[in-house]
Amino acid sequence: MTEPSDVQGFLSKPIDEALLERLIPGFTIRIDPTGVAKPFVQLDCHDQSLRKSGRVLVEVGEILWLFQNGRAPLSQRCKGQGRFVQDLPQGPVKAALKGFPKLRALMQIGAGEIQTKPLAVLDELDKTLVRGKVWCLSSTTGQATIVQLQRLRGYERAYQKVNTAMSAMSGGGSGVEAFYAGLFPDMVPYRAKPEIELGKAEPSIQVAADIIQNYLKVARQNEEGIIADIDTEFLHDYRVSLRKVRSVISLFKGVFSDAQTVHLKQVFSDLMTPTGRMRDLDVYLLEKDKYFSFLPSILHDGLQEMFDLFETERARELSRLSRRLRSEEYNACLTNLTALFNGIDRLEPGSNAKRGAHEYACVLIWKRYRKVCKVARGITDDTPDDTLHDLRIDCKKLRYLMEFFGPLFDAKNFKEIIKPLKKLQDNLGLFNDYSVQQESLLAFVAQHSNAQGRVDARIGLAVGGLIAVLDQRQKAERSRVLSSFEKFDGPETRHLFRTLFHRKEE
pLDDT in tens, 265-321: 999 999 999 999 999 999 999 999 999 999 999 999 999 999 999 999 999 999 999
Residue of 425, 436, 423, 416 lying closest to 393 (CA atoms):
425
pLDDT of residue 447: 87
* Model confidence band, residue 408 (pLDDT cutoffs 50, 70, 90): very high
CA distance 178 to 70: 15
Residue of 430, 467, 474 lying closest to 445 (CA atoms):
467
* Model confidence band, residue 69 (pLDDT cutoffs 50, 70, 90): confident
CB 116 within 8 A of CB 133: yes
In this predicted model, which residue has the larger pLDDT, 422 or 175? 422
Q: How far apart are the first and last CA of the chain?
A: 76
pLDDT of residue 465: 95
% the chain with pLDDT above 90: 76
pLDDT of residue 3: 54
% the chain with pLDDT above 70: 96
- What string of DSSP letters covers 129-162? EEEEEEEEEE-SS-EEEEEEEEEBTT-HHHHHHH
Mean pLDDT of 120-146: 92
pLDDT of residue 247: 96
Mean pLDDT of 420-441: 93
CB 179 within 8 A of CB 12: yes
Residues 6+ apart with CB under 8 A from 410: 500
Mean pLDDT of 435-450: 88
* Model confidence band, residue 1 (pLDDT cutoffs 50, 70, 90): very low
**Distance of CA 18 to CAs 12, 166, 170, 297, Å?**
17, 12, 14, 70
Check whether 174 has a pLDDT greater than 80: no
CA distance 98 to 85: 8
In this predicted model, which residue has the larger pLDDT, 251 or 456? 251
What counts of helices (H) and strands (E) characterise the chain? 18, 9
* Model confidence band, residue 453 (pLDDT cutoffs 50, 70, 90): low
Mean pLDDT of 497-501: 93
CA distance 267 to 248: 14
CB 196 within 8 A of CB 214: yes
Residues 6+ apart with CB under 8 A from 79: 59, 62, 64
Q: Give the mean pLDDT of the chain.
A: 92
CA distance 497 to 397: 15
Check whether 134 has a pLDDT greater than 50: yes
Check whether 505 has a pLDDT greater than 60: no
Domains of the chain: 7-183 (2.40.320), 193-355 (1.40.20.10), 356-505 (1.40.20.10)
Check whether 506 has a pLDDT greater than 70: no
pLDDT of residue 2: 52
Residues in the chain: 506
Helix, coil or strand: residue 54: coil
